[in-house]
Structure 1
Amino acid sequence: MNYDCLIVDDERELAESTSEYFNLFDVRTAYVTSAEECRAFLRENSVSLLLLDINLDETSGFQLCKELRQETGIPILFISARTSEDDVLVALEIGGDDYIHKPYTLRVLLAKVKAVLKRWSKDTPEPEREGWTAGPVRIDPDLQKATLNGEPLKLKTMEFKLLSYLVQNKNRVIPKEELFASVWGDVFAGDGTLNVHIRHLREKIEQNPNEPAHIRTVWGIGYVFEERAACSAN
């Protein structure tokens, strides 16, 4: 079966109530309470988005995320009561697309999930279907792929979304607030989330990530993708 969202959380009552709430608003959702149940569910069903808790009984959500990232590029949003900045950074480093603190408000969480599903649904119309190019980078929205000097770039979900927005708006300084709203669908997303994704993109497209030629920081404002000479993948 096809589901919009799968919740992986060992707090059964919370997972069940969240699932029921999402289904009331036509976001087809199921829940499981362990990593093994998640693996079994994904073998039998397709899912567009994962809500993943860090603390699972037999393993950690971090480990499960790393495992799933070998097989799928679907958005993974961590949900956790852990508020350490280190936890947030680890979650993003290993392939998470966002980090949502518990306790969460169902209405706000639903809005976040809907925003991600809308942006990444294959049925959502894309403007300018021919794609976008800036310097050595080309974005193909139909195939949801990016290339660097003609070679495929291996990008996670939010990395692709962020790079696409930067390329579409090449040579324009984009405020951080605009990136939060347009890429994450959340004007309250944190600087740490954005900084980690920017660093990952630089490592993948810049000859020297410490002295980027394309993805430039404009201090106190945001970022700009400058269209310059070609660069090579690392």
Structure 2
Amino acid sequence: MDYDCLIVDDERELAETTCEYFNLFDVRAAYVTDARACRSFLREHRVSLLLLDINLNETSGFQLCKELRQETGIPILFISARTSEDDVLIALEIGGDDYIHKPYTLRVLLAKVKAVLKRLNSDGTSPERETWSAGPVRIDPESRRASLENGEPLKLKAMEYKLLSYLIRHKNRVIPKEELFSGVWGDVFAGDGTLNVHIRHLREKIEPNPHEPVFIRTVWGVGYVFQED
């Protein structure tokens, strides 16, 4: 079964209330209360977005996020009562896409989730039945996973996955930077520095020699192209 959102929170009453509220507004949601149940749920269902608490019973949300990032580029929004700036930075550094402080209002949380789901649907990276490939890269939008042609999984953060997917879906076409900002980052602010860092990270993961790229090529003054001869 397909779900828009999976809530992973050991506060069962809060998770249940949030889940019920989401479903009232046509966001198909479910909840689990620990990391083991989360892993099991993701094996059995397709999920578009994860709401993840940091404090879980037998492990931390940070550890679970790092494990999931080995396998999937699904958007992960952290929800936590912890307000330390270090916690926020860690969450974003290990692959989280946002950090939402508790206590939250259900209306605001729903709006944030709907915004992410809308971007997923509009940029073409929501789950589909087709598979995309170019050069040494294979992308399965259904599971939101990327791998090399030898089967080795690519460990991508969420925005790296979205950028690589966009480049591959438009392979052999020069894509202006402005189109990448709009198509990948949407209404989230991004500039040349952000784009350059993501391009560098992708090259390090897929190019034989990242310093002399043969797949993700720069077109100076314009943008980038994923070249497949």
Instruction: Note if contact 1:5-1:47 (Cα within 8 Å) is conserved in structure 2.
Output: no
Match of 1:90 in 2: 93
Match of 1:166 in 2: 167
- State the number of aligned residues: 212
Deviation at 1:6, TM superposition (A): 0.9
With over 3 angstroms needed to count, the CA separation of the structure-2 counterparts of 1:33 and 1:162, relative to structure 1, is same
> Which amino acid is 1:38 matched to?
C
Instruction: Note if contact 2:207-2:215 (Cα within 8 Å) is conserved in structure 1.
Output: yes
**Whole-Å separation in 1 of the counterparts to 2:93 and 2:190:** 14
Where does 1:50-199 land on structure 2 (aligned, <5 Å)? 50-69=50-69, 72-73=71-72, 75-80=74-79, 83-84=85-86, 86-92=89-95, 96=96, 98-102=97-101, 105=108, 106-116=110-120, 119-122=125-128, 133=134, 136-137=135-136, 151-152=150-151, 154-155=153-154, 156=156, 158=158, 159-167=160-168, 168=170, 170-175=172-177, 178-184=179-185, 186-188=186-188, 197-199=198-200
Q: Percent identity?
A: 49
* Aligned-partner SS, 1:187: coil
Instruction: Note if contact 1:89-1:196 (Cα within 8 Å) is conserved in structure 2.
Output: no
* Aligned-partner SS, 1:109: helix
With over 3 angstroms needed to count, the CA separation of the structure-2 counterparts of 1:48 and 1:228, relative to structure 1, is closer
1:201 equivalenced with 2:202 (yes/no): yes
> Which amino acid is 2:120 matched to?
V
Q: CA RMSD in A?
A: 4.2
**Whole-Å separation in 2 of the counterparts to 1:56 and 1:217:** 43
| CA deviation string 1:104-131 (max 9, x = no partner) | 62213222134436732226xx7xx8x6
* Aligned-partner SS, 2:94: helix
Deviation at 1:217, TM superposition (A): 6.0
**Whole-Å separation in 2 of the counterparts to 1:193 and 1:20:** 37
TM-score with structure 2 setting the length: 0.65
**Whole-Å separation in 2 of the counterparts to 1:195 and 1:101:** 27
Deviation at 1:29, TM superposition (A): 0.6
**Whole-Å separation in 2 of the counterparts to 1:142 and 1:64:** 21
* Aligned-partner SS, 2:47: strand
Unmatched 5+ residue regions in structure 1? 230-234
> Which amino acid is 1:165 matched to?
Y
With over 3 angstroms needed to count, the CA separation of the structure-2 counterparts of 1:110 and 1:211, relative to structure 1, is same
With over 3 angstroms needed to count, the CA separation of the structure-2 counterparts of 1:228 and 1:6, relative to structure 1, is closer
**Whole-Å separation in 2 of the counterparts to 1:210 and 1:86:** 29
With over 3 angstroms needed to count, the CA separation of the structure-2 counterparts of 1:157 and 1:225, relative to structure 1, is same
TM-score with structure 1 setting the length: 0.64
Instruction: Note if contact 1:145-1:153 (Cα within 8 Å) is conserved in structure 2.
Output: no
**Whole-Å separation in 1 of the counterparts to 2:211 and 2:184:** 24
